[in-house]
Amino acid sequence: MALWSGRFDQETDEELKKFTESISYDKRLYRYDIAGSCAHVNMLAAQGIVPEKTAGAIVGELKRIEQRIADGDFTFTAELEDIHMHIEHELIKALGDEGARLHSARSRNDQVALDIRLYLRDEIDAIADMLRNLQKTIVDLANKYRTAILPGFTHLQHAQPVLFAHHLLAYVEMFNRDFTRLQDCRQRFNVMPLGSSALAGTTLPIDRDAVCRELKFDDISRNSMDAVSDRDFIIELLSALAIFAMHVSRMSEDLILWSSREFDFIELGDAFCTGSSLMPQKKNPDIAELSRGKAARVYGALVALLTLCKGLPMTYNRDLQEDKEPVFDAIDTVKKILRVYPPMLASMAVKQEKMLAAANDPELMATDLAEALVEIGVPFRNAHHRVGAFVKWCKQHNKQLCDTTLEEMRQTIPEATPAFLEMFSPSKSVEKRETPGGTGPQSVDKQIRFWQKNLSL
Amino acid sequence: MALWSGRFDQETDEELKKFTESISYDKRLYRYDIAGSCAHVNMLAAQGIVPEKTAGAIVGELKRIEQRIADGDFTFTAELEDIHMHIEHELIKALGDEGARLHSARSRNDQVALDIRLYLRDEIDAIADMLRNLQKTIVDLANKYRTAILPGFTHLQHAQPVLFAHHLLAYVEMFNRDFTRLQDCRQRFNVMPLGSSALAGTTLPIDRDAVCRELKFDDISRNSMDAVSDRDFIIELLSALAIFAMHVSRMSEDLILWSSREFDFIELGDAFCTGSSLMPQKKNPDIAELSRGKAARVYGALVALLTLCKGLPMTYNRDLQEDKEPVFDAIDTVKKILRVYPPMLASMAVKQEKMLAAANDPELMATDLAEALVEIGVPFRNAHHRVGAFVKWCKQHNKQLCDTTLEEMRQTIPEATPAFLEMFSPSKSVEKRETPGGTGPQSVDKQIRFWQKNLSL
Amino acid sequence: MALWSGRFDQETDEELKKFTESISYDKRLYRYDIAGSCAHVNMLAAQGIVPEKTAGAIVGELKRIEQRIADGDFTFTAELEDIHMHIEHELIKALGDEGARLHSARSRNDQVALDIRLYLRDEIDAIADMLRNLQKTIVDLANKYRTAILPGFTHLQHAQPVLFAHHLLAYVEMFNRDFTRLQDCRQRFNVMPLGSSALAGTTLPIDRDAVCRELKFDDISRNSMDAVSDRDFIIELLSALAIFAMHVSRMSEDLILWSSREFDFIELGDAFCTGSSLMPQKKNPDIAELSRGKAARVYGALVALLTLCKGLPMTYNRDLQEDKEPVFDAIDTVKKILRVYPPMLASMAVKQEKMLAAANDPELMATDLAEALVEIGVPFRNAHHRVGAFVKWCKQHNKQLCDTTLEEMRQTIPEATPAFLEMFSPSKSVEKRETPGGTGPQSVDKQIRFWQKNLSL
Amino acid sequence: MALWSGRFDQETDEELKKFTESISYDKRLYRYDIAGSCAHVNMLAAQGIVPEKTAGAIVGELKRIEQRIADGDFTFTAELEDIHMHIEHELIKALGDEGARLHSARSRNDQVALDIRLYLRDEIDAIADMLRNLQKTIVDLANKYRTAILPGFTHLQHAQPVLFAHHLLAYVEMFNRDFTRLQDCRQRFNVMPLGSSALAGTTLPIDRDAVCRELKFDDISRNSMDAVSDRDFIIELLSALAIFAMHVSRMSEDLILWSSREFDFIELGDAFCTGSSLMPQKKNPDIAELSRGKAARVYGALVALLTLCKGLPMTYNRDLQEDKEPVFDAIDTVKKILRVYPPMLASMAVKQEKMLAAANDPELMATDLAEALVEIGVPFRNAHHRVGAFVKWCKQHNKQLCDTTLEEMRQTIPEATPAFLEMFSPSKSVEKRETPGGTGPQSVDKQIRFWQKNLSL
């Protein structure tokens, strides 16, 4: 018994509709589809392709449909495949033959290329605002904890003391690059594809520049075949979002580490942690963990789009319908993160004494000794070796670096001066790093003011 | 004005719930969660950890809850996070303190590890059946078009004539490997994790083997920490599904090529094609295109899971909650493809004359000439060179290979016999390839019978 | 017997060196490492951190080392791990203590961040030039075959006739976006990281702006912790290269299709095809196939870098050493493609008659009929239905669209005029699509001139 | 000036060779190519297709070539493209026409399908042995540190005390699944493709079963078209290796955390750490970091192969040449990790007091209290709430859980008995978890003995 033997039946029909429909997810484009149709029909009227009166009626009805969809007063059905067909069908139902004039000089190929650009433009603007808000939150924290010092890590090992504010501002830099990548992407794709029709342009006397102006694009697309088959901008956007998600995964890792009993540098607000169904004492940094994990789906979306487009011949292929769900999911994911991250950060209690205690490890000042030797003329490599030997000596004699006498220090660092004995303070170490971009208080202050100004705090 | 300034408020609360909840997608696990709970509480009773009567009441109520969810008579809310909490909450609402005994000796960590395994076991079985059905459909087609010949392609260039049935059966082989990969995956993960509790096992005197037997697992997990942090099996499954999706993308590519005006080897049923919103004459192989495109999201899901698990410390981390949506989507996608592919293939009209005409190109028999030379003792490389020279000679003299005289042929192939002139027939060429696995009619017949038997057609 | 039992031995030592060394691949950075060191030591001298004379000696010796490496007169060894240590080691060997002064106020963390930026800047410039050359080659072809017409495809089905030049220019658009993405990436990362030292900046009085100017960066990095842990720019670059590789995979797919016996639109030069070890008659488009396939490794490199950075805590972690091989491979791959693609395209014989014959299918003009009806006032949807009915009528009566009489046409298209009978010519169809971006000869001519000017042909 | 203007020249020729050659990497297959050729020619002789004497001469010469390649006494050149052509060319150079008989009834398509399988079979066996060795090393460690206790983590928060041995054995489980995945993969692809020829089989009377037996395959491939286009097994292998690399990334994360100053649970041997070029005091766990990072390239290789195969039509396409470098790199990477990981683990100093001190946190025993309540009849959810209230009470009164009196405890846990006051010992907590798979000493002992037996320690 083969399931599909004989003529295929009702059930298959149903399956086929489910397989090909996109209305279940592309309905979110409705506003943009309608905005595009309004601009299109206004242009058709101005060009004499449809009567002015018809255009007026169509625009009016489209606005009504938009309102109905916004109000939840509109029925979607897999029968009508996609958002374009739903709206046009409703229009024709309302206006009859007059409604049937809308789709002149247009194909769903260029229509969807328009809709998705309009949609992504808005989403990028929304995400950019949220990114700015995230940056502001972090700058506020940096400003609030200006004097807190913690160990800076490389290889997850203590390296040198740094200002907590400096550490925080590193993330502001990352998110700023994310912001600029979004702007570049937006600018590159802000090009109006309508008028490309199915692939070859149209024989009707349209005015693409008029539509371009009405919809606030920077330019019209130059080649109709490219315009209907191009999905570069989705890949580029997903790549920018993937890098952002990677940054979030890194910051989350820091937050999770700092929240551990072992580090104990911070405590996230109760609202951003959850308990255990079994262990009554647990307080887990779930929001940070989920945020770290969500990089996974954004990466997945990027790979999906790259895979989708690989090896497709020109021009439009139905495969391209699969472009939407991944990018919708990535956008939703990024926005979700951007909604919870700022309040989570703001909820953070900073345990400054714990941080300082961790930084108050004389070994972290070893580099300062080496650089002090350079200042008095010892070649750096030699200075490095001497301080290395000093660290080893202390280990062997079971002493802290700061507990040695000058004589002891001079056994390995003959050039040591009494000033060397004063170097084992995290705050002094930090204060000496005032070159631009360094962790010195003035340098960090300058960074904070730069960002306050740039983000208009 | 910072969106999140001050204490975070109602809106944030809402966002947080949306961020952490999984009920919107893990509710599909409800049957498995209940089956697991029933087995668990039966064991608790048998071990004297809960009274027999309590266990009976819990099982009864769980069945009622299951029925209500199946009937759509159950309200889900982000408040209660996940399917586990929903069901336990409802149970306690109904049974009070008796219901509160269920979660003894269990954590959500091992509970979800159990649920997902039970769920995937069922889904793998369903997909395996559908794969078998797809194979049957293809074998039926191969059997139906036993004598059809088309050009076999390498590099999308004509290579040698092959039986259409032989080409089709190549896909049966691929889908068979997919089938066996699913079986291996299922067998490897069919191990019972319950009793691992949060990560360390439990202090209560449970009987894991009893639960194992009731839920039809092959064995119990050997290490509790591994059991709650292992998501290997999801990655392995996604990898098997990704390979299947790749196979579908290849078969779809063939179908799309064959449906083109240029190839014109087949015509897919109208129901599996769609028209154009602009071009009235179009008949597009949309189902095949979408099927090809859907490889993208399955690949994306695989990358998502690999990314998710990378670098996580032991044991359970909340990131792992993100394991479900990608695998659910991949499973749904694969099942959708498996529902439409068999009827689409069955709908295919095969244009045997067109295929044969394309295969009836004397150049495709060039290899046969070379092998005939080998049979009479010419070293293969020399034979290959001679036939190459013959092909070139024909090109230069603007002749088809089959239109030469013996004398002409002997200018480049001195050993040619009159039999060589008879070699330019696709059917003769095919008939000579009867070694096992070759495209000869008897060899292909043997393959067909092998699959008919194996698939119990 | 355990391989590693007891103390680990010589063999392990060897393995460890192999595991950690990067010299086998990072030696390609030598020029940039030396340029960075020269700028660094010049600044150190200007700031009085090292004597002028020492700086001069160091620069002189570094130039000698550069020349020796360029000449192949330099021995690399896993002992010395990476290119930085090789060069500094050689410097100290030559200059003794004076050489040991170079590494002052610097760490390998900021050093490699500098080197890789200098390197990528050069590679981007080289690739950008090659992209321009590829675009020129295509524009030349478009110009050469200005009048050739072929069927435009959607869904790999004939859609409407288009100019071959128009099809080609679509690829020029894609490659242009690739070009601009590279520029954006270059601009974003053209920021000078040196002076960030290990992670916190330095206590020595350096002048970062001087180094910035000498090495032609646009600005200095603002945050030292970010500067040593940032690998965004590699991911962004790989993403741009992946999109380019995707474009190449699509163009290659077109070329492979067109080279098939079935399409037979073009013939690639013999040098860009290969034969078969078995089948003497084969001519395979290997270069196009390999180019299509090479998208795979570029995608792989992108995924590798995204994976690498996921979840890393601040700041530098040794994992980041794994950033280089993927980006080196992607750059090499893209440059290889860019070297062979232009001459391959130039070698292409275009079979204009075959293309035109394929386009000369009256069904491809169906859209023109529908748009003609719109021009005389029929609402588009109605026009679309009428032409659809006409196509169906012709199929049923086994007639070509162009072979009907006006009466026959009017059975389904009552508004048809005698002009409708003249519409079934590919060249007329193309000529009517003169709106901007369309496939009309003047529109395409404008595109060609735009690109000739922009690419300074 | 266009780089490629005019006829393409010498330089292009060179580029083309570089573009298409595979000898630079496929030479590593030489042993397998020769083994396959020997089996092939022996069969040809047995079937009378080549003279016995010729076969003997060919086998002799092939062995000489193998020895020369092994000795480095063989020149490779891009002229001869790949390893197959190199060896056949050398053979013909030595034996003339007799050597030219080898390639009868064979194509490079089935030849490379054979070679890669033979190669991967050996590599899988080598990796499987190394995996076993890694498991043994870990079991040895578990055995050595049988009594060490550390906090078990979920969400990187202390959860419950566990035996260090139990934590280690979790990794043995993971690596065991990796081992079985490799076995499944090997078994699935251990099928002999030779005789498939280019794609259709051969007209010569070969004996595929003889070759199958000589080369120790389990079966012959059933369909020639599938056999030459199948690369499933490479993807499956890469997927198994990617999961292994993910496991390594997780274990490395643990090691890096444990090596941090904050955790301070272990110290890796000096040989497995490196210092800093700037900071004299640093000791970084570089090998663990690099091992974590190397997951990136294995994931990348998997994505590359999936991308490569997506959407390819049947049968062999030149794209498939790109299958080798990713899998070679992944294999080399995994073997490198497997060489350094066992001695790194063996070098680890375990700081048992530090571990125990961290585990000696009364909150970690909260679950034990709750389960004790269940044992005396309190429903679990109520027990959980009571213990939660107790934890809160202690926080508010700034007391450790273990420092309360029975009266204090009874304020929130009315059922508490004096025995409850004795529960705050990590070792007692561990000892109570003796259900199978739990962290109890006997349970862990059983696991150790299981693995010792299974791994024949």
pLDDT tens digits for range B148-167: 999 999 999 999 999 999 99
Matching CATH topology for A13-104 and A360-443? no
Contact C444, C146 (CB under 8 A): yes
Q: Which residue has the tokens 């342009």?
A: A201
With a cut of 80, say whether residue D280 has pLDDT above it.
no
pLDDT recorded at residue A4: 35
pLDDT recorded at residue C456: 87
Tokens of B269: 């049923």
Amino acid at D173: E
- Reduced to 3 states (helix: H, G, I; strand: E, B; else coil), residue A284 is strand
Enclosing H/E stretch for D254:
helix D232-259
Tokens of C19: 């595991």
Per-residue HEC secondary structure of A133-149 comes to HHHHHHHHHHHHCCCCE
CA–CA separation, D415 and D438 (whole Å): 27
Q: What are phi and psi of B314, to 5 degrees?
A: -70, 155
With a cut of 90, say whether residue C431 has pLDDT above it.
yes
Kindly report the CATH class assigned to B360-443.
mainly alpha
CA–CA separation, A135 and D382 (whole Å): 44
Per-residue HEC secondary structure of A62-93 comes to HHHHHHHHHCCCCCCCHHHCCHHHHHHHHHHH
Range from C225-234, D88-97, D272-281 carrying the lowest mean pLDDT: D272-281
Interface contact A177-C232, CB threshold 8 A: yes
Q: List the end-to-end C-alpha distance of chain D, in Å, as a whole number.
A: 71
CA–CA separation, B121 and B183 (whole Å): 10
Known catalytic residues of B are: 155, 276
pLDDT recorded at residue C209: 98
Contact B381, A43 (CB under 8 A): no
Contact D409, D423 (CB under 8 A): no
Which CATH superfamily groups domain D13-104? Fumarase/aspartase (N-terminal domain) (1.10.275.10)
Contacts of B15 in chain A (CB under 8 A): 336, 339-340
Tokens of A320: 């391209």
In this complex, the chains that touch D, judged by 3 or more CB pairs closer than 8 A, are: A, B, C
Q: What are phi and psi of B448, to 5 degrees?
A: -60, -45
Range from A267-276, B217-226, C88-97 carrying the lowest mean pLDDT: A267-276
With a cut of 60, say whether residue D264 has pLDDT above it.
yes
Contact C9, D339 (CB under 8 A): no
Contacts of D138 in chain C (CB under 8 A): none
CA-based torsion, D375, D377, D378, D379: positive or negative: positive
CA–CA separation, C147 and C169 (whole Å): 14
Instruction: Give domain limits for chain C.
Output: 13-104, 119-197+218-357, 360-443
pLDDT recorded at residue A275: 80
Interface of C with A in 245-264 (CB under 8 A): 246, 249-250, 252-254, 257
Contact A202, A105 (CB under 8 A): yes
Rounded alpha-carbon distances, angstroms, from residue B384 to B424, B426, C59, C280, D203: 17, 20, 62, 6, 14
The verdict on whether omega for the bond into residue C180 sits within 30 degrees of 0, i.e. cis, is no
Mean pLDDT of C335-363: 97
Q: What is the pTM of this model?
A: 0.97
Q: Is A313 exposed, middle or buried (0-12, 13-18, 19+ CB in 10 A)?
A: buried
What is the distance, to the nearest Å, from the Cα of residue C322 to the centroid of all Cα atoms in its chain?
A: 22
pLDDT recorded at residue C9: 53
Nearest C-alpha neighbor of C153 from the set C172, C141, C167, C138: C167
Q: Which residue has the tokens 């034996």?
A: D95
Interface contact A155-D390, CB threshold 8 A: no
What is the distance, to the nearest Å, from the Cα of residue B123 to the centroid of all Cα atoms in its chain?
A: 11
pLDDT tens for the 457 residues of chain A, in order:
333 333 345 666 888 999 999 999 999 999 999 999 999 999 999 999 999 999 999 999 999 999 999 999 999 999 999 999 999 999 999 999 999 999 999 999 999 999 999 999 999 999 999 999 999 999 999 999 999 999 999 999 999 999 999 999 999 999 999 999 999 999 999 999 999 999 999 999 999 999 999 999 999 999 999 999 999 999 999 999 999 999 999 999 999 999 999 999 999 999 999 887 777 777 899 999 999 999 999 999 999 999 999 999 999 999 999 999 999 999 999 999 999 999 999 999 999 999 999 999 999 999 999 999 999 999 999 999 999 999 999 989 999 999 999 999 999 999 999 999 999 999 999 999 999 999 999 999 999 999 999 998 7
CA–CA separation, C447 and C445 (whole Å): 5
Nearest C-alpha neighbor of D109 from the set B379, B160, C341: B160
Task: Tell me the HSE value of D94 on the side-chain side, using a 13 A CA sphere.
Answer: 18
- Reduced to 3 states (helix: H, G, I; strand: E, B; else coil), residue C151 is strand
Amino acid at C415: E
- Reduced to 3 states (helix: H, G, I; strand: E, B; else coil), residue B310 is coil
Rounded alpha-carbon distances, angstroms, from residue C401 to A305, C356, C396: 39, 17, 11
Residues 6+ apart with CB under 8 A from B259: B265, B266, B267, B268, B285, B288, C156, C157
Partner-chain residue, chosen from B221, B379, B435, that has the shortest CB–CB distance to D206: B435
Nearest C-alpha neighbor of B446 from the set B139, B59, B217: B139
Interface contact B317-D250, CB threshold 8 A: no
pLDDT recorded at residue B1: 33
Pairing mode of beta strands B157-163, B149-154: antiparallel
Q: Which of C24, C260, C276, C397 is catalytic?
A: C276
Give the ranges where B352-401 is alpha helix by DSSP (H).
352-359, 366-375, 380-396
Interface of B with A in 298-357 (CB under 8 A): 299-305, 307-308, 317-322, 325-326, 336, 339-340, 342-343, 346-347
Tokens of A230: 């191009």
CA-based torsion, D382, D388, D392, D394: positive or negative: positive
Q: Is A336 exposed, middle or buried (0-12, 13-18, 19+ CB in 10 A)?
A: middle
Q: What are phi and psi of A153, to 5 degrees?
A: -110, 140
Rounded alpha-carbon distances, angstroms, from residue D116 to C203, D109, D301: 57, 11, 16
CA-based torsion, C400, C401, C406, C408: positive or negative: positive
Pairing mode of beta strands C219-220, C191-192: parallel
CA–CA separation, B229 and D154 (whole Å): 9
> pLDDT band for position C4 (50/70/90)?
very low
Contact D315, B152 (CB under 8 A): yes
Interface contact C260-B156, CB threshold 8 A: yes
Q: Which residues of C315-337 are buried (b: 16+ CB within 10 A; e: fewer)?
A: bbbbbbbbbbbbbbbbbebbebb
pLDDT recorded at residue D6: 38
CA–CA separation, C208 and C42 (whole Å): 11
Amino acid at A54: T
Partner residues linked to B149 by β-bridges: B163
Interface contact D278-A384, CB threshold 8 A: yes
Tokens of C77: 């060894």
Mean pLDDT of B7-35: 87
Inform me whether the C-beta atom of residue D20 falls under 8 Å from chain C C-beta atoms.
Answer: yes
Range from A7-11, A181-185, B314-318, C158-162 carrying the lowest mean pLDDT: A7-11
pLDDT recorded at residue B10: 60
Partner-chain residue, chosen from A262, A312, A367, that has the shortest CB–CB distance to D262: A262
CA–CA separation, B409 and B402 (whole Å): 10
In this complex, the chains that touch B, judged by 3 or more CB pairs closer than 8 A, are: A, C, D
Out of 3.40.50.300, 3.40.50.1240, 1.20.120.430, 1.20.200.10, the CATH code matching B119-197+218-357 is 1.20.200.10
DSSP single-letter state for residue A6 = S
pLDDT recorded at residue B50: 96
Select from D308, D318, D321, D457 the residue whose CB has the most chain C CBs within 10 Å, as the one to mutate to test that interface.
D318
Pairing mode of beta strands C266-267, C219-220: unpaired
Inform me whether the C-beta atom of residue A296 falls under 8 Å from chain B C-beta atoms.
Answer: yes
Nearest C-alpha neighbor of A369 from the set A311, A414, A330, A325: A414
Residue of chain A with shortest Cα separation from D286: A155
Output the CA torsion B167→B171→B172→B177 (10° steps): 140
Give the ranges where B145-280 is alpha helix by DSSP (H).
164-189, 208-214, 224-229, 232-259
With a cut of 70, say whether residue B437 has pLDDT above it.
yes
Q: Which residue has the tokens 């969660």?
A: B33
Mean pLDDT of D15-33: 96
Inform me whether the C-beta atom of residue B111 falls under 8 Å from chain D C-beta atoms.
Answer: no
Rounded alpha-carbon distances, angstroms, from residue A319 to A104, A236, B273, B297, C137: 25, 18, 13, 11, 30
Residues 6+ apart with CB under 8 A from D342: C2, C3, C4, D133, D134, D136, D137
Inform me whether the C-beta atom of residue B213 falls under 8 Å from chain C C-beta atoms.
Answer: no
CA–CA separation, C346 and C343 (whole Å): 5
Output the CA torsion D191→D222→B295→B23 (10° steps): -70
CA–CA separation, B251 and C15 (whole Å): 45
With a cut of 50, say whether residue D5 has pLDDT above it.
no
The verdict on whether omega for the bond into residue B315 sits within 30 degrees of 0, i.e. cis, is yes
State chain C's mean pLDDT as an integer: 95
With a cut of 90, say whether residue B136 has pLDDT above it.
yes
Give D371-415 pLDDT, tens digit per residue.
Answer: 999 999 999 999 999 999 999 999 899 999 999 999 999 999 999
CA–CA separation, A151 and A158 (whole Å): 6
Which one has a higher pLDDT value, B327 or B8? B327
Rounded alpha-carbon distances, angstroms, from residue B349 to B38, B171, B366, C214, C317: 52, 18, 30, 71, 60
